[in-house]
Amino acid sequence: DDMKKATHLIGSHLDNKLSMKRSSKIMQAMSLCLPILDLNWLIESAKKGYPLDENRFIIQDKTAEERYGFNMRDSLANNEKVLNGYTIFVAPIPKGAKIPPSSELKSIVEYAGGKFALNLSQAKKVVNGKSSKLLVIGCVEILNDKEIMKSTRELASQSTVQKTILTASCIFDAIMKKSLVFDGYSLESSSSSSSSSSSSHKPVSKRSKGKVT
């Protein structure tokens, strides 16, 4: 489906208490600044016979907004294309990885003003041509693949703007916050921090009924 042809993205009911997820559709809509509305907008508009004010029905999940550090209304009102001038290369995504497939990431990137390198050859042309700033994205599932990591590290090291492999969260957060930063998004640093945190975490007593988050 081509999200560019859409005028709105309809989500679930505001009262269903399900937390908003950074799905491909949500990220595409946010890249395009499409109104992301509760289903009630369609229902109530149909009852009235005309489109109601969209601002009353913009989906706002306070828990998600706090987790990701953004404000839905402010983000949708800001038309800045945060990836303008950048080319994004995504390392091969293994089956079962917890990020969208390359075809969906391509749409997210292009809707946010960036270009998408479909393969390593295209990415190398960007580096050699100096015509665009290259960002290299990877997922944790490639960390144990020596061959992929070697080629991906080599490519990232040639970038003129960021010489480490970044996580997809770097792109997603930039789209949501309308601000692109690199600190804290290194794939290998993030993985090391997570491993260290997990190994130092104390077991929960069997008497405790609290959730570990």
HSE of 112 in the Cβ direction (CA atoms, 13 Å)?
A: 32
Question: Can you give the pLDDT at residue 192?
Answer: 58
Give the residue-averaged pLDDT of 90-107. Answer: 91
* Strands (E) located in the chain: 9-10, 36-37, 86-90, 115-117, 133-137
pLDDT digits (tens, 9 = 90+) for 34-74: 999 998 999 999 999 999 999 999 988 888 899 999 999 99
pLDDT digits (tens, 9 = 90+) for 172-188: 999 999 999 999 999 99
Is a pLDDT exceeding 80 seen at residue 200? no
Written as one string, the DSSP assignment of 4-34 is GG-S-EE---GGG-PPP---HHHHHHHHHT-
What is the C-alpha separation between 66 and 71, in angstroms, rounded? 8
DSSP assignment letter at 53: P
3-state DSSP assignment of residue 161: coil
| Mean pLDDT lowest among 6-20, 23-37, 74-88, 130-144 | 6-20
pLDDT at site 201: 42
